[in-house]
Amino acid sequence: MKILMIILAFNFILIIHELGHFIVAKLSKIKVEEFSLFIGPKLFSITRGETTYSIRLFPVLAYVKMEGEDEESASENAFYKKPVWVRAAVIAAGPLANIISALIIITIYYSISGYQTMNVSEISQNSAAYNAGLEVGDKIVEYDNKRVYQPLDVIQFLYISKGKPAEVKVSRNGEIYNLTMEPEIIPSEKRFMLGFSASDQESNLVGTVTKGGPGDQGGLKSGDRIVELNDTEVKNIDEIRKFLNKNKNNPLKMTVERSGELIVLNATPEETTTTEQYAVGFNFGYAKGDIFASMKQGALFAYCNTRNVAYALAWLFTGKATIGEMMGPVGIVSTMNEAVQSTPTMMDAILTILNLTAFISVAVGATNLIPFPALDGSKLVILAIEAVRRKPIPIEKEAIITTIGFFILIGFSIFVSINDVARLFGFSF
């Protein structure tokens, strides 16, 4: 059931994009020859008016075929016969549909589950945040001289800066303070892990459990509190990590507290090579407001993640990020599956899918606005050139540009997909 929800969510993102093009084209009286769900050989079709609605064999993607989009046509209802602003509206409608749908979805998610704020709720003793002078209740305004609106912004700027000392601007009691934070750099190393995340650094409470991991196989569940490992008391995640690294991959006994009872479980840790991490030692607060507060947070979510696509593109060109770190459809579905499978209840799974769907939908919409041939952004640039020179670019030349870009994107997609599959087996390029 969870896998089916993931497939539906992934296709929803792609279908809503094409639906945006379709609706605005219809409103603009452009002849839409076909609206197809999925790709491949046609399984079923029905014609209503001038449009054929079809379902095809392979359950991925969707597309809209408009008359006069890629070839000349004598019809006054052809795409290329319409004014520039109309064509631009049709092209922009796809990415905007993704961003607007993400805003709606994340607002629903925030209304149900709440959201993280930019206010500091906890600070660990002797941590980077503590040493910088951060206080509980401070609102993070900037990190590394960049405006931040959601906790993910801080995490992203922290990691892209490789944990270098950063200027942090905070709002405290109506006043602005500038602090300097030096994150603790935790180098990549081999560790022995049970496959779970703690609710926070100072806790021994289990947050999520990795499906199929050692903890999951041993019966560990979200909400358990690990109190002993081989009769050795552990009070927080650091003590658990130290014990596991000392124990290595030897079988161990876990004593956990579950619903007020002590339960003994058995598990064998597995060896994992971690990536370099950066610890700042503070947690963000959590809030749950009315629909208007959720809408405001949803708007910030859409803005931040749209902005992050532009940042990611800049980081690719400057070498701060690599193509190998990018994720394609295989990686996206795998990530969604891993996140959903670790949820204890169906309601939690639905909320996780809503969150990830909104996140990916914004990314798809913003990425399509990049002015690269074959993407919607390049078509908008071509229309802008046409508006300035008051003369259209010959449709055959535009088709050549689009075709070249299409094949480049196909090649890029194949590489990313291969890397996604390799990553599933513990490799990457």
CA distance 144 to 2: 39
pLDDT at 392: 82
Residue 385: other Cβ atoms inside 10 A: 13
In this predicted model, what pLDDT tens digit does every residue of 219-232 receive, in sequence order?
998 888 999 999 99
Flag residues of the chain having pLDDT under 50: 330, 424-429
Residue 37: which of 67, 17, 59 has the closest Cα? 59
DSSP H or E stretch at residue 317: helix 291-318
Say what the pTM is.
0.77
* Residue whose entry in the numeric block shows the structure tokens 């979805």: 105
Which residue pairs from 205-208 have beta carbons closer than 8 angstroms and sit at least 24 positions apart in sequence? 206/256, 208/342, 208/343
- Look at residue 428 in the predicted model and tell me its pLDDT: 46
Q: Which CATH superfamily is domain 191-273 in?
A: PDZ domain (2.30.42.10)
Q: Is 272 left (phi over 0), alpha (psi -120 to 50) or beta?
A: beta
The class that CATH gives domain 115-188+275-287 is mainly beta
Q: Are 65 and 73 in contact (CB under 8 A)?
A: no
| pLDDT at position 412 | 60
Domain ranges of the chain: 115-188+275-287, 191-273
Contact predicate 361/309, CB 8 Å: no
Confidence at residue 427, expressed as pLDDT on a 0 to 100 scale = 44
Among 189, 183, 210, smallest CA distance to 198 is for 210
Tell me the pLDDT of the chain averaged across its residues: 85
Do domains 115-188+275-287 and 191-273 share one topology? The answer is yes
- Number of C-alpha atoms within 13 angstroms, CB side, residue 429? 13
